[in-house]
Homo-oligomer: A and B are copies of this chain.
Amino acid sequence: MVAQATPEELTERLRDAITRLNRRLRQERPVGDLTVTQLSALTSLRIGGALTPRELSEAERVQPPTMTKIVAKLEERGLISRTPHPTDGRQVLLSPSDQGLAVLEDYQRVRDEWLAGKLAELTAVERETVARAAALLERLARD
């Protein structure tokens, strides 16, 4: 039974579940062709407002050069805009454009439809278990 799982078994089982479900989520691709990474960065900008590349890379737990690439892709698509920092000539402020906000909403809706559909297949008790676990997993991910 699950109840008797050792800590090692639980760790392995959870890692596998996360990895596989994340792969499945990633396959739920877009309308706007946004990757998960791009979506996540754009979401951070929407939540955090105008951020510098460094702040964004820290929010996304990614190195600055990696964020440079992600930002370049979002910029190509016109989903974010950059303005000079008011007091520091080295820095740049990134914000989602109106188009970026619109694409973000579309993408999230499409992807959530898939996941919501899968969750609807569960029993009420199972959904309750997932709901409790989701809150715990968020806590784990929050370092």
Contacts and interface: CB of A to CB of B under 8 A. Distances in A.
A102 to B, nearest CB: 15
A129 B61 CA distance: 25
A2 interface: yes
Contacts of A130: 10, 14, 133, 136-137
Contact of A128 (B3, B108, B119, B120): B3
A81 B119 CA distance: 38
Interface in A120-139: 120, 122, 126-138
Contacts of A60: 20, 23
Given A112-B11, A128-B2, A129-B132, A22 B19 contact: yes
Contact residues of A: prevailing secondary structure: helix
Interface of A: 2-3, 5, 7-8, 10-25, 27, 36-37, 40, 43, 60-62, 108-109, 111-112, 115-116, 118-120, 122, 126-138, 140-143
Given A8-B116, A18-B21, 14 more contacts: A3-B132, A5-B131, A7-B116, A7-B120, A8-B112, A11-B116, A12-B43, A12-B112, A16-B40, A17-B141, A20-B138, A21-B140, A24-B61, A130-B137
